[in-house]
Structures are given as C-alpha cells and as structure tokens.
Amino acid sequence: MEYTSLYRRFRPRRFGEIRGQEHVVAALRNAVSDGRVQHAYLLSGPRGTGKTTAARILAKALNCVAPVDGEPCCECEPCLAVESGTSFDLHELDAASNNKVDDMRDLLGKVALGTPGRTKVYLLDEVHMLTPGAENALLKTLEEPPDHVVFVLATTEPHKVVETIRSRSQHLELNLLSAEVLGSLVSDVVSEAGLDVDDEGMAHAVRAARGSARDALSALDRVVAGGVTTDDTTVADLLDALAESDAGAALGAIAEGIGRGREPRVLGEALLAALREAFLVSMGVPPEQLAETDRQRAGLFSERVTPSMITGALETLGTALVAMRRAPDPRVDLEVALVKMTSPAATGGIDPSVVEALIRRVEHLEKALADSGTTRTPSAPQPPQPPSSSGTGPAAAARATLAGSAVKPPPPPPTPKQGLEPTEVPAAPESSSEPEPARSGDLPGRDELSQAWSDDLVASLSKRARARFSAARFVDVRDGSAVIALPNEPHRRRCSELVGEVESAIAARFGVAVPLVLVVDETGSPPAKAPTSTGPVSGGSTDVVDEAVDLNELVDADASEGSAVERVAKAFPGATLVDPT
C-alpha cells in the first residue's frame, strides 16, 4: 500500500477540525448556515496554516446534501468527490504557473457553465502572482460572477494583491499557530496513527514547525523515518561566543557547523532567528510559536547581554546575510560579521585604556574648574546666575567666573613696541567691581590656546571677528595675559575693536578669563602713531567715522609673509585655491 504523508492523512475535513483559526472558521461556517455566502473570499496567511483546506471545506459545505450548522457531512457523494479531487464543483488553479491573460480568459470562459452541485467554487492559489493583464481580466467577473459561482483567492503575500481585487473580496487572515496548539496537534497525530515517537521527537517537530501545522507534521514524518537530525549545538555555541565576546570561539563554531555540511547562509539565518527570539524575550514579548526549549535558551542569553548588544548584532548579521547573496565566498561575510559582533564596542564593553584616559581628563577638568572658582573671587556683587541643578561645586564656580568675564569691558587698545614686545596699556583706575587678575598658573598655555584656536575657537566667533583675526597667532602667555601677534599696526588697531568678543570665547572655552594683549609681529618697523579723535562734527554729533583711513599710516607688507595669492587666501578664511597657476 502506498504511504500517505501525515499532513495529507490528517488534513481537516470539517471546519471544527481546523486548529488555531477560530475567527476564520466562525466567519465561513456562519455564512454557510445563514445563507450569507459572499461571491469572493481572499484567504491570506503564512504557509501551512490552512488556506487551501478552508477553501475545500467551504466547497464541500456549499454542495453537501445534508449540512449540519454549516458543517459538511463528509459522507455524501459531493463531499467525497471533493476529498478525492474528482469533483466538478471545485476548480483549483495555481495562479503562479497560470498567471497570463490567456489563462485567465480560458478560466472565465467556463464560469457560466453549470455543474452537478449547487455551487461552483473556483480556488485560485497564490493569486498575487497574476500579471497585471490577468488581474484586469479577472476584475469584472470577480465583481459580478454568476449566482452559482464563488471565488476563493489564496495568497501568502496579501500586500502584493492589487487593491481592486481586495476591495471586491472578503479578506480573512489566517495566523501562525502557537506552540501549545502545535504540541496538541502533534500529540493527537502520534496517538491516532500509533507512531513510536518520544517527547524529544515531538518537541523537535513543534520547534521545526515555527507556527505551521503542515511543517509540524512534515517534521514528524522525518522523526519517524530517521530520528532527530537537527544541529542546534552550532547556534548554542555561537550564542555563548557572543555573550563572552570571544571571536575565536565564534569562528570555531562556524567552522564546525560548516564541517557538518551546513551552508554558511543557513547557519547565519539560524543565528539570526535565535537572536530575534532572545530580543523578543528580553523585551517581555516572547513569540507564541516558540517552543519551551528555545524559550529557555533565549531567556538565558538575554540575561547575559544587553538589549542594545542584541539589536546591534541583528543589524550586523542582517547586513551580512544580504551581502552573502552576491559574495564569491559567503563564509567570509559571515566570519567578518561575527568578529564585529564579538568586539568590545559591539557588546557594550569599553577598552580599559579608554576609561583611564577619560578619568584623567575629567580629573584635570575638575581641578581646573576648582582652581578657577577659588582664585577669581569677585569683590563686587555679580549679575544673577542661571538656574542649575547644584549650587555648589566646581561647575557652579565656573559659571560664576564666566558670568563675571561676560560683563567685563574690553581693555583699551595697547600701543605696540619694537618687535614682539606687548604694547603698554595705561593702568585703569582701581575699582572695587573689577575682579583680581588671574595668575599665569591659572591660564592655559600657549600650545593649548593655539590648539583650541585652530580647533573651534575661530569657528565660534562672528563673521566680522573671524575675518579680522584670521591672521592672528598666539606667541606667548606672560604676566597673566595671552599675547596675540598680528601682521601690522593697522591690522592690530582694527582687531582691538573686537578683542572683547575673543576674550569671551576663550573664557567660555577654558572656564577662566584670559586677558589678551595685541602686538605687531613686524621686527624693525617704526611704532605707529596712536589714533586721534576727530572731535565733534557739525551738528553737535560726537560720533567718530569708523572707516576713516590715514594714508600716511599705511605700511608695506612684509615680503616674508608669502606671495600675493597666499595673502589673499588668508584674507578670506575658508577660500579654496582652484588653480595656483
């Protein structure tokens, strides 16, 4: 006698025998019992969940001689003919292979023909595979078929079915079955068929099904034929390697799995499924289709790693699986992905040397903030401070110092001396509201200023200040002030107008007020005459013309400063030299 596979022998014959799809069963059975059967149904869902089975039971119920509460009797001639595949009332068509316009026209040409039963049922499987022309040919008849015709469309990808077909059908969605439902199904089949299968074999069938009833019975057939042949040790070893951040162990597990005959892509997909299960378990929403053994494995792994590590591993492995489709050696992409997934950065770990460097940096900043708060104590009441989470400590002292430097007026422009000597600034009258000058030990060094100047200080200035200070450079820090050298005296005078903005930017950067002294970097040039006020103009106005230039004060550019092209590039910060020739 020819052997019949379990999923065919134990295919449900009535609506009540379909497991885990109560909403679909209720809709179809009530429609038959109440005489409210639609002219077209669209059944969608994953593979092996009962779409074709439900359509065949519907065809039996619609043509049964003695239906009971919408259920077929499964004993009359029409019911037996549908079960044996010889019924003229049920026409099944695979739309994946008969998807052209001519195929659909041939089917529609026979729709109006009568059959022995009361209702002719057309079952179109994988209807999303129809070509646009075939879909258009089906639309009119699908919307208004003859009274004795019912269309049942089945698909695993309902989003690919055009809206015009979906709107003409009653859409019923079938779900994946839970592990409990599959376990009950496998147990009943083993008992009824008299199979010699232990608990481990039944658990394997449930685990291999992944929510599909047909896959569960197919896996049970394999268990009966040759036992459990799955290789779960490779996935378990890979999960242990990821949890321990051991790249060598991960690569060894992959090599061992490939040595057993498994393809790299199959191993990658199995690991991806295990990581997804662990992620869902860590989020508190484990899949219903997950077997108890897999649930325990996912729970143990999620306790050893963080959710961020799992999501990062999912992204890395998913990208590798996409790249493996066109890779000459897919094993390389999988191994590279595993090395990335086991690196300290991917697993949430941090290099100890990086931690030590950060600690030293934080300690240095805290010391600088504490010193700035103790040495620059203002003697006069300060402006109101912004609200903060803590009223004491180095951060509060730094904010107080920055607020004091923000209201400090810029110093008068100094007079340059010979060479790089700082210009002498007239002593300001003593005032109780001025803070004490900072000691040179509290100020940043010349190298620190130069580095910060090139990194971000210039970029934080206004456009006007950036243009004027583009040629400036720090040359020294002495007597509690930072010395900035400029090319010539006219340039120095114009920069002195904006020295306060630069001081504020430096104070915000280092947490301490740094007075600036502008000097002329021009050895041997005569001192420029001090600017004189033009006095009041007609009309009683005391404004000074900002752009008045004395031609006698202009000096020749230093030849050592470079060519004219270089000086033009300096005058326009951010400019790019297109063609130096």
In a shared domain, residues 463 and 363: no
Say yes or no to pLDDT of 442 above 50: yes
How far from chain centre, in Å, is Cα 464?
Answer: 41
* In the predicted structure, residue 280 carries a pLDDT above the cut 60: yes
Distances (CA, A) of 191 to 185, 187, 205, 254, 465: 10, 6, 15, 39, 88
Average pLDDT along the chain: 79
The pLDDT assigned to 61 comes to 93
Between 472 and 438, name the one with better pLDDT: 472
* Residue corresponding to tokens 């799955």: 230
Q: Let me know whether 95 and 202 are in one domain.
A: no
What CATH number is associated with residue 320? 1.20.272.10
The DSSP output letter for 455 is I
Mean pLDDT of 104-116: 86
Are both 493 and 366 inside the same structural domain?
no
Secondary structure (DSSP) of 347-415: TT---HHHHHHHHHHHHHHHHHHHHHHHH---SSPPPPPPP-S-SSSHHHHHHHHHHHHHTSPPPPPPB
Asked whether residue 431 is assigned to any structural domain, the reply reads: no
Whether residues 323 and 414 share a domain: the answer is no
Q: What is the pLDDT of residue 403?
A: 56
What is the pLDDT at residue 347? 53
Which pLDDT score is estimated for 354?
62
Tokens of 21: 């799809």
The span from the first CA to the last CA of the chain, in angstroms, equals 93
Per the DSSP assignment, residues forming a β-bridge with 125 are 94, 154
**What pLDDT, on a 0 to 100 scale, did the predictor assign at position 211?**
87
pLDDT-derived band at 318, boundaries 50, 70, 90:
very high
Count up the domains in the chain and report the number: 5
Q: Tell me the pLDDT tens digit for each residue of 443-456.
A: 788 888 888 888 87
Q: Are strands 481-486 and 473-478 parallel, antiparallel or unpaired?
A: antiparallel
Do the domain assignments include residue 535? no
Domain interval for residue 206: 179-226
For residues 127 and 191, state if they share a domain: no
pLDDT recorded at residue 432 = 38
pLDDT tens-digit readout, 165-193: 999 999 999 999 988 899 899 999 999 98
Domain membership of residue 168 (yes or no) is yes
Cβ atoms within 10 Å of 314's Cβ, excluding its own: 17
3-state SS class at 288: coil
Which strands, in side-by-side order, build the sheet including 481-486? 473-478, 481-486, 516-520
Domain CATH for 518:
3.30.300.180
Region 244-263 average pLDDT: 88
pLDDT at residue 399 in the model: 55
20 and 77 both lie in a single domain: yes
* Predicted confidence (pLDDT) at residue 292 exceeds the cutoff of 80: no
pLDDT > 60? residue 1: no
pLDDT-based confidence at 488, cuts 50/70/90? confident
Burial group, residue 443, by CB count within 10 angstroms (0-12, 13-18, 19+): buried
* Same domain (yes/no): 63, 49: yes
> 239 and 270 share a domain?
yes
- pLDDT tens-digit series, residues 33-84: 999 999 999 999 998 999 999 999 999 999 999 889 999 999 999 999 999 8
Residues 41 and 13 in one domain: yes
